[in-house]
Structure 1
């Protein structure tokens, strides 16, 4: 099978990271190409792609209306002659100007994605039931559920819950507080530090984005500068190596199609706390494998963190951590993800 994955830009988001793992796994038994349309490429992430994957660059400037890149796009696709064209942006199929016998597929990576182009694809994949239900509700179009996956064996686990001096909290995502909700978590930390007297806290934020200045100023306003560290962009190797050294992972997003970092935290055997939105709640099975608070509720977020700290060595937390680790290994395995795509390409 000849599989061509197409994506507009190749930066450092969850979609691109997941795509690398899928391609690397698929390339073991299939011929795999990647076509990157725009000239937005993260070189470090690019280097994590297996050599078996053939990478094609169009180097178009984003939003470029010049027709020449469209001709180049179609020529590259024609020369590759794939049996499957797997898109990762809903409107990318509009670049395809000739009739192809290839199976055209789209993975929908988030909720609230525009539905206007979905009917143009032969097959649609959703990364969670949350995304699947969102698409069905807004368009009436059915899609196939294929969960994202990780390589659990690459993530060291926390073997001693009580081995820490500071209670270290980690949040990993693009710095976009209007979607990812970092300000909610920071305000919750402010309550714990300034009103509850918990001075042994540390919050590390991993990621880059347009909200950096806003969040840095917010830390000053909340008087929690010495408790909050902005670590910038880190490689997945760094994140996997260090996750086990944290006592809690928090994902305070306002909307999220899935939440891969939540899965990674569970794989590292650390507790996870998420906002009660569909994607992350699906991952923790509505509280069985993690903790949750009402989305946007700073007070409840702080209370849940406080409760987790107070009960850190209890049987409940130990049970959640152990069961969550097994649940991730069973349900969110990258080999299973890649094979699910292969099976559905052919069906």
Structure 2
């Protein structure tokens, strides 16, 4: 089976890491792979380490040659710009394509977007919420739910020890997300204000950067909070998962929430908002705690509950490990194989 994966993002965030993980798994399973990627992305450097055919395309209008997909069975699209590359390639050289959608925003009602999605052979959403959004715009398209799988990170114990010393004798809560409005950091800070009065030993470390940072820092200063730290974007997440006591993810909207899966994989208890795809991961009181989005009091109460109830922490950790089975890369890769094979079989009989 020969698959052409397309990801034209210029950065290297969660979507690119998940694409890379699927590619790595498929190589282990004996796939032949072609990868079309943006030369500006660190994703390219990772692909160069693998046994893939690599095509560099700085724009979706670039690199349209018959030879690129001549013996490919399916083009697999992984982000928004890539869908237009697949549309052009498919129209010119008659190769079917599928789209994995990772965000839970409503699909744009624009002619080019509609054309690209309606010409796909299948559409995949990472969560029930994303699948619902796809069906709202394209109710007649073949649609599947296939979640992403957690990425694992290495751990350097010396780094973990440094974090422990910095936050010694404190219950360390981390929120690992870009500082963007929909990630819910304002709710976190409102919860921190409540927690400062409830328990002085709980500290929240914000791991990320973004457009909301200045506003959030001002809010912390105005509230005179001493239990919140802004630590910027981190490139050693494994160390933070190993050092922390709890991960929170109180987003207002979320495609799935892969960082929650990563924390579960590191045996951290988790708290998330009842929004987007997060409930696909967290079964409340079983694999984590769910709170309503924008409810600072509920978030503060949940953090306090986890911090002060060790049996609950252990229960959530065990529940998280059990929940991870349905997100294992071997399983999700098998779901994609079924989709690919259905398309291949369908072309043979048409």
TM band (smaller chain): 0.7 to 0.9
Partners of 1:102 and 1:267 lie apart in 2 by 37
SS of residue matched to 1:210: coil
SS of residue matched to 1:147: coil
User: Is 1:122–2:112 an aligned residue pair?
Assistant: no
Partners of 1:168 and 1:154 lie apart in 2 by 20
CA distance 1:265–1:24, shift in 2 (3 Å): same
CA RMSD of aligned residues (A): 2.6
- The Cα offsets for residues 54-103 of structure 1, whole Å up to 9 and x where unpaired, read as 3322234xxxxxxxx72x3313x643432211112345433443433322
**C-alpha contact 2:56 2:63 (8 A) present in aligned 1:** no
Structure 2 stretches of 5 or more lacking a match?
A: 109-113, 161-166, 343-350
User: Is 1:79–2:106 an aligned residue pair?
Assistant: no
Paired residues for 1:258-269 under 5 Å: 258-269=256-267
* TM-score where L is the length of structure 1: 0.83
Deviates more, 1:128-137 or 1:89-98: 89-98
**C-alpha contact 1:268 1:325 (8 A) present in aligned 2:** no
User: Is 1:207–2:208 an aligned residue pair?
Assistant: yes
CA distance 1:233–1:57, shift in 2 (3 Å): farther
Corresponding position of 1:110 = 103
- The Cα offsets for residues 278-306 of structure 1, whole Å up to 9 and x where unpaired, read as 41111012442111111101122112212
Corresponding position of 1:133 = 132
SS of residue matched to 2:307: helix
Corresponding position of 2:303 = 305
CA distance 1:344–1:51, shift in 2 (3 Å): same
Paired residues for 1:95-174 under 5 Å: 95=85, 96-97=87-88, 98-114=91-107, 116=114, 117-140=116-139, 141-150=141-150, 165-174=169-178
Number of aligned residue pairs: 320
- The Cα offsets for residues 97-127 of structure 1, whole Å up to 9 and x where unpaired, read as 3433322010011112415242110111111
Partners of 1:32 and 1:222 lie apart in 2 by 53
Structure 1 stretches of 5 or more lacking a match?
A: 61-68
User: Is 1:16–2:53 an aligned residue pair?
Assistant: no
**C-alpha contact 1:185 1:301 (8 A) present in aligned 2:** yes
Partners of 2:52 and 2:204 lie apart in 1 by 38
Corresponding position of 2:229 = 229
* TM-score where L is the length of structure 2: 0.83
SS of residue matched to 1:183: helix
CA distance 1:155–1:287, shift in 2 (3 Å): farther
Partners of 1:271 and 1:137 lie apart in 2 by 34
Partners of 1:135 and 1:25 lie apart in 2 by 27
Partners of 1:188 and 1:180 lie apart in 2 by 14
SS of residue matched to 1:249: strand
Partners of 2:148 and 2:192 lie apart in 1 by 30
SS of residue matched to 2:339: helix
Partners of 1:143 and 1:110 lie apart in 2 by 15
Q: CA deviation at 1:138?
A: 4.1
CA distance 1:101–1:281, shift in 2 (3 Å): same
